[in-house]
Every structure is written in C-alpha cells, then in structure tokens.
Amino acid sequence: MSNVVEFREAVGQLATDLDAQKAALEETRKLRRSHEQDLKLKQEVIGRAKSKLANVTNHREFSAAEREVESARRDISMIEEQIIQLLEGEDAASKAIEERQERLDKLEADAAEQIEVIEKEAAVFDERMGEIKLARERLVGEIDRSLLARYERISSAKKGSAMAAIDDDGNCTLCRMKVPPPATAASGCCTGLASWKMNRWRRSRSPPR
C-alpha cells in the first residue's frame, strides 16, 4: 500500500511541476509574440522614415528622418536578440515538458498496474477472511457455551490477545494458578506469552536425557 501512496504522490508532484512548466512556456510565448508585434511596429517606423528621406527639402528634415531610422534599427536589433533568446528558451522548455510528460505517463501506468495487483490481493484476502469467518462460526457452534463466554470475556478485556493453555493438572501455564472446573485443558486462562509458557512447561515435565 505504501508503494501506491508513493506512486500517487510522485504522480501528483510531477503533474504539478508539468502544469507549472506549461504555464511558464505559455508566458514565454506571449512575451515573444509581443516582441514580434513591437518588431513589426519598428519596421513600419523605418518604412515611414525612409519615405520622409525621399521627400525632404532641407538638411534639418533629412537629419531628423535619418536619426529616426537609426533609432528604429537599434530597437529592431535589440528586439530581434530578445526574440531569439525567447525562441531558444521555448525549445528547451518544450523538450523538458516532453520528457516530463513521458515520465508522468510511465508513472501513471506503473501506479495503475500496482493498484490492480493490490486490488487482486485484497480480493483474495477478503475471500480468505470470509472462509475463516464461516469456519469460526461453525467451530463456535460446537464449543460449550460457558467456556465460550469465559473466552470472549477474557479476550475482550485483553483486547483480543491469545489465551494461555491449561495444563493436565488444571493450572494456567502462564500465571500457574489453579483453574476451577468446568475448565479443562481445552479452555484457557490469562493472556500473554502462552506458547512460550506452554513450551517451557512441557520441557519441565519431560524426563531428562
């Protein structure tokens, strides 16, 4: 399950980064289009200035038109450089977005595959738990009601812990207290390390080798 969570977090982060990159690329394109519009206007300025140069009647008007052309050319050179830089940035951003999109697609496919596996395992687990529940219900119906009530009372008090077994002498294998009838070796007493206690008790009763 942790793998699925990690997959989803990675996919979410990658998708967020991808959206941010796409938004930044769109802003770069808008800025480039704005510069292209400015370039067009400057070219129109040069066209008008050149028309003036062809029709000037004195040196003053000629100098003014010439300065206007030179100023527009400097602006055009600067704008063209900015446009080139923006186009290079767009190319780099487009490649990065394409690579990140491929990574995102792969992560989504891996996450879908992982989720499918877990869902199948969960279905098998649910089926097995259903079988265990039915088996428990059948066994409960065969157990003495008083012993079952005793077991459930102790199990509930101890939050579902296993019950220690009772030895052949009627003693609890964990606390060593005598368990009164009708408890038998099939019933239980206190909770705790029952299997460990039972093994120790069996070893103590085994004859030395």
pLDDT digits (tens, 9 = 90+) for 99-115: 989 988 888 888 888 88
Query: Does the pLDDT of residue 27 top 90, yes or no?
Result: yes
Domain with CATH 1.10.287.1490 in the chain: 2-121
Query: What pLDDT was estimated at residue 29?
Result: 94
Report the pLDDT value the prediction gives residue 127, as an integer from 0 to 100.
Answer: 93
In the structure encoding, which two tokens stand for residue 79, read together?
Answer: 């704008």
Predicted confidence at residue 196, as pLDDT, reads: 40
Q: What was the pLDDT predicted at 60?
A: 85
Helix axes 2-55, 59-142, angle to 10 degrees: 170
Sorted by sequence, the CB contacts under 8 Å of residue 24 that are 6+ apart come out as 93
| Statement: 2-121 belongs to CATH 1.10.10.10 | no
d(C-alpha 120, C-alpha 201), whole Å:
43
Q: How far apart are CA 143 and CA 130, in angstroms?
A: 20
Q: Is the pTM of this model over 0.75?
A: no
Q: Read off the pLDDT of each residue in 38-64 and give the average, rounded to a whole number.
A: 86
Query: Which tens digits make up the pLDDT trace of 115-129?
Result: 888 889 989 999 999
Task: Output the average pLDDT for the chain.
Answer: 79
Tell me what pLDDT residue 90 has.
94
| Position 160 pLDDT exceeds 70 | no
Distance CA 200, CA 173 (A): 9
